[in-house]
């Protein structure tokens, strides 16, 4: 019986960033995470020290083990985990980097993979072709082609073992895209992005953004994305924001050897440090001066311990940020700490349009604005899809921050006019109907929304209309598609509002609640009655997740939808925006909140896809 294949189970998300877990024969790996590099010949830190710092998985080099007769014999006899002295998951590299540095290695691709499997590697790596940032496009394309051929050579081994399929392509986005598609469609269950160490060492983070995005958006989302050599804390948060799940690095030792110490925002030389940070494991044992006086080997070990703590402290912070959905805010603020990071963040903003598809409808925390760049984020970018007619009137003068549109404006102008109205929010023009919905009302930013000083001229036509009805129809169109609003909420809908705030609470028809307006994000939550009206009015599969007959029976009783029971879904589904759960006959069995976007949903095979809010049966 073969090993259990790696399948990422997503637990939480913020855009492309995600927390999750996957299983290996030697334990569960929680993501995002990092595999410290272990040199089997040289042990700078003991395994107990590494575990205490946070190590739960490792990576080592099979080429080094295989070339050393003693290491090879012990690994073949007792296994890789006994050789390393570690009982958790171990990934092995193939010697590709050594081939790049020293020339051709003496082993072939298939026997390299077979050796890794024979010693019990949890994730084995093919002998791919390392691409450098200086490679010509033709050379990089050839590396992509040969790497794909080499994986094809061992495709049979991938049927029962976890093999990683490296994504190569140098600095050429179209080659990274091609390589990602090839490896995603292969038997590879793990996708490392290779050839990036030179860029990391040269702080060419903006180019890394292009590489990661090209790889991520063309990869299978159920397979973990690994950034080879990407273990410096200052770039890890940004990489995770772009969809990286795993890292590896020997930086904790390499920097220690040079007398340098890792910090979340960069690197510092020991000779320039006045005192150690509170979080450092060395602080209660040494002063900076005492560290400088230590012997070379002892000092290297101590600095490596500090550096490993710095790495895992950042990993822990990133996971927590995803959990509370503040990673974007964290990365945006951290980007101001270094010019290369800031340039990379500006490059990320160029992808805001593409990132929209994977973005939640709302986040739990408020929208934090720093400067005009904040208005180029994917959340702000999504608002640009709202149609502002050329004849729309700017009503910013009537917008009272914290209380919404003034009663005077509603009574005298909006409800007695055919005009379309908007207000100015930062650099964007927003329809007044979106006044309470995320991120407009939930923004914390100096001067937002902008208030016009001059009072505009508004035309009163004497045509009566209801602001609350227009608002919920507008939101329905925004959430569920054009013309959904009138289909969901007829003219005779009954709207209840809070006595204390005047905000909409529920919308009913003939005594049955169709939807509620959520307080925390200002969006609509459907009931079964509302969901049925959306189903009848929308085209086939629109706003739908179709499940098997077996699953439908459980979902109709309120149990969550799991990925492996989904037959089809609307690719336009937005995470956290209500969806209809239907059986193969398009019978509505539940309404719920999807954890992932429609573009991702059919790729995952494990875990919860939709949590159910309302269901057909008791």
Would strands 9-14 and 17-24 be described as parallel, antiparallel, or unpaired?
Answer: antiparallel
d(C-alpha 545, C-alpha 609), whole Å: 10
Share of the chain above pLDDT 90, in %: 79
The number of beta carbons lying within 10 Å of the beta carbon of residue 390 is 5
Respond yes or no: is residue 93 known to be catalytic. Answer: yes
The C-alpha angle 261, 266, 268, rounded to 5 degrees, equals 35
Locus of tokens 């080879």: 228
User: What is residue 452's predicted lDDT score, i.e. its pLDDT?
Assistant: 44
Mean pLDDT on 325-347: 96
**What is the spatial distance between Cα 269 and Cα 274, in angstroms, rounded to a whole number?**
11
Beta bridge partners of 193: 167, 227
pLDDT digits (tens, 9 = 90+) for 267-288: 999 999 999 999 999 999 999 9
Return the pLDDT at 299: 97
The answer on pLDDT for 103 being more than 70 is: no
Tokens (6 digits) for 115? 């050796």
Write out pLDDT tens, residues 142-180.
999 999 999 999 999 999 999 999 999 999 999 999 999
454 pLDDT above the threshold of 70: no
Question: What would you measure as the largest C-alpha separation in the chain, in angstroms?
Answer: 92
Domain residues for the domain of 551 are 539-618
pLDDT digits (tens, 9 = 90+) for 543-575: 999 999 999 999 999 999 999 999 999 999 999
Q: In the block, which residue shows the tokens 């994000």?
A: 521
pTM > 0.85:
yes
Q: Do 476 and 559 fall into the same domain? A: no
Whether 343 is covered by a domain: the verdict is no
The span from the CA of 83 to the CA of 56, in Å, is 17
Residue 613 pLDDT > 80, yes or no? yes
pLDDT band at 489 (very low <50, low <70, confident <90, very high): very high
Boundary (domain end) residue, out of 493, 513, 536:
536
Domain count, the chain: 4
Separation of alpha carbons 32 and 397, rounded Å? 46
> Are 108 and 211 in the same domain?
yes
CATH number of the CATH domain containing 553: 2.30.130.10
139 and 231 both lie in a single domain: yes
Q: Within a domain: residue 295?
A: no
Residue 334 lies in a domain: no
Residues 141 and 216 in one domain: yes
Q: How far apart are CA 318 and CA 370, in angstroms?
A: 20
Tell me, yes or no, whether 294 lies in a domain: no
453 pLDDT tier (thresholds 50, 70, 90): very low
Residue 198, pLDDT above cutoff 70: yes
Q: Indicate whether 87 belongs to any domain.
A: yes
Please provide the size of the chain in residues.
618
Q: Which of 498, 518, 536 is the last residue of a domain?
A: 536
**Each residue of 50-62: b (16+ CB within 10 Å) or e?**
beebbbbbbbbbb
Residue 605 lies in a domain: yes
3-state SS of 44-55 is CCCHHHHHHHCC
The verdict on 388 and 505 lying in the same domain is no
76 vs 4, 24, 92, 96, CA distance in Å? 22, 20, 14, 21
Q: Band the pLDDT of 424: cuts 50, 70, 90.
A: confident
Angle between helices 137-153 and 173-185 (to 10 degrees): 10
- Contacts of residue 375, defined as CB under 8 A and 6 or more positions apart, other chains included, come to 369, 426, 427, 428
Q: What six digits make up the tokens of 87?
A: 């009982």
CB neighbour list of residue 43: distance below 8 Å, 6 or more residues apart: none
- Residue 372 maps to a domain: yes
Residue 378: inside a domain, yes or no?
yes
- Asked if residue 61 and residue 24 are part of one domain, the reply reads yes
Task: Report the range of poorest mean pLDDT among 63-77, 408-422, 599-613.
Answer: 408-422
C-beta of residue 485 within 8 angstroms of C-beta of residue 476: yes
Residues 547, 581: Cα–Cα separation, whole Å: 7
pLDDT at 320 exceeding the cut of 80: yes
Compute the distance between CA of residue 329 and CA of residue 365 in angstroms, rounded to an integer: 10
* 100 and 203 fall within a common domain: yes
Same-domain pairing of 457 and 434 = yes
Q: Are residues 531 and 543 in the same domain?
A: no
Exactly one of 93, 128, 135, 245 is catalytic; which is it?
93
Would you say residue 463 has pLDDT above 70? no
Residues whose CB is less than 8 angstroms from the CB of residue 118 and which lie 6 or more positions away in sequence, other chains included: 76
CATH of the domain at 508: 3.10.450.90
Q: What pLDDT, in 10s, does the model give residues 238-266?
A: 999 999 999 999 999 999 999 999 999 99
Looking at 433, 462, 491, the residue that finishes a domain is 462
**pLDDT above 50 (res 582):** yes
Looking at the structure, do residues 455 and 562 belong to the same domain, yes or no? no
Contacts of 192 (CB under 8 A, 6+ apart): 125, 164, 165, 166, 167, 225, 226, 227, 228
- Tell me: do 35 and 184 sit in the same domain: yes
Reply yes or no on whether the pLDDT at 322 is more than 50.
Answer: yes
- 451 lies in the same domain as 522: no
Distance CA 570, CA 405 (A): 35
The Cα-based distances of 220 to 82, 143, 599, 603 in angstroms read: 33, 21, 10, 6
Give me the pLDDT at residue 393, please: 86
Query: What percentage of the chain reaches a pLDDT higher than 70?
Result: 94
């Amino acid at each position: 019986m073969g090993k259990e294949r790696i399948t990422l189970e997503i637990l939480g998300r913020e855009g492309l960033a995600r927390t999750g877990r996957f299983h290996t024969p030697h334990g569960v790996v929680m993501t995002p995470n990092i595999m410290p590099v272990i040199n089997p010949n040289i042990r700078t830190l003991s395994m107990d020290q590494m575990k205490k710092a946070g190590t739960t998985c490792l990576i080592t080099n099979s080429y080094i083990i295989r070339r050393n007769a003693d290491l090879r014999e012990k690994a073949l006899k007792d296994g890789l985990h006994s050789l390393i002295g570690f009982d958790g998951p171990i990934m092995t590299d193939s010697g590709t980097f050594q081939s790049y540095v020293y020339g051709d290695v003496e082993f072939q691709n298939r026997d390299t993979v077979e050796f890794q499997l024979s010693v019990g590697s949890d994730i084995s790596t093919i002998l791919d072709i390392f691409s450098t940032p200086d490679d010509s496009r033709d050379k990089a394309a050839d590396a992509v082609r040969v790497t794909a051929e080499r994986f094809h050579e061992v495709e049979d081994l991938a049927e029962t073992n976890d093999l990683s399929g490296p994504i190569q392509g140098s600095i050429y986005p179209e080659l990274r895209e091609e390589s990602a598609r090839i490896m995603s469609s292969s038997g590879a269950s793990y996708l490392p992005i290779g050839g990036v160490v030179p860029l990391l060492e040269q702080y060419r983070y903006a180019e890394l953004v292009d590489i990661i995005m090209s790889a991520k958006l063309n990869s299978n989302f159920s397979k973990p994305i690994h950034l080879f050599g990407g273990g410096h804390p200052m770039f890890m948060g940004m990489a995770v924001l772009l969809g990286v799940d795993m890292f590896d690095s020997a930086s904790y030792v390499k920097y220690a050897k040079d007398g340098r110490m890792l910090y979340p925002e960069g690197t510092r030389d020991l000779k320039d440090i006045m005192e150690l940070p509170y979080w450092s494991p060395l602080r209660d044992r040494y002063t900076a001066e005492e560290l400088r006086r230590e012997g070379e080997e002892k000092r290297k070990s101590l600095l490596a311990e500090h550096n490993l703590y710095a790495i895992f402290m950042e990993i822990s912070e990133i996971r927590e940020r995803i959990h509370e959905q503040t990673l974007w805010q964290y990365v945006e603020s951290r980007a101001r700490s270094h010019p290369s990071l800031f340039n990379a963040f500006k490059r990320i903003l160029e992808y805001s349009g593409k990132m929209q598809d994977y973005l939640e409808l709302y986040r739990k925390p408020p929208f934090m604005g720093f400067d005009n760049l904040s208005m180029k984020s994917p959340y702000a970018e999504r608002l640009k899809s709202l149609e502002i007619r050329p004849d729309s009137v700017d009503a910013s003068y009537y917008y009272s921050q914290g209380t919404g549109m003034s009663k005077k404006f509603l009574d005298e102008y909006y409800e007695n006019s055919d005009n379309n109205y908007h207000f100015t929010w930062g650099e964007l023009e927003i329809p007044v109907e979106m006044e309470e919905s995320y991120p407009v009302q939930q923004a914390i930013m100096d001067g937002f929304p902008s208030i016009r000083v001059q009072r505009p001229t508004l035309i009163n036509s004497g045509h009566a209309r209801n602001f609350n009805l227009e608002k919920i129809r507008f939101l329905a169109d925004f959430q569920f598609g054009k013309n959904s609003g009138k289909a969901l909420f007829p003219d005779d809908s009954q709207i209840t509002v809070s006595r204390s705030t005047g905000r909409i609470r529920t919308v009913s028809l003939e005594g049955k609640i169709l939807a509620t307006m959520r307080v925390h994000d200002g969006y609509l939550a459907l009931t079964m009655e509302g969901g049925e009206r959306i189903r009848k009015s929308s085209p086939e599969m629109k706003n739908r997740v179709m499940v098997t007959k077996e699953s439908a029976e459980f979902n109709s009783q309120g149990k969550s939808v799991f990925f492996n029971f989904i037959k089809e879904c609307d690719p336009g589904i937005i995470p956290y925006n209500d969806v209809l759960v239907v059986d193969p006959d398009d019978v509505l069995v539940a309404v719920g909140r999807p954890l992932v976007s429609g573009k991702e949903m059919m790729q995952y095979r494990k875990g919860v896809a939709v949590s159910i809010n309302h269901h057909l049966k008791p």
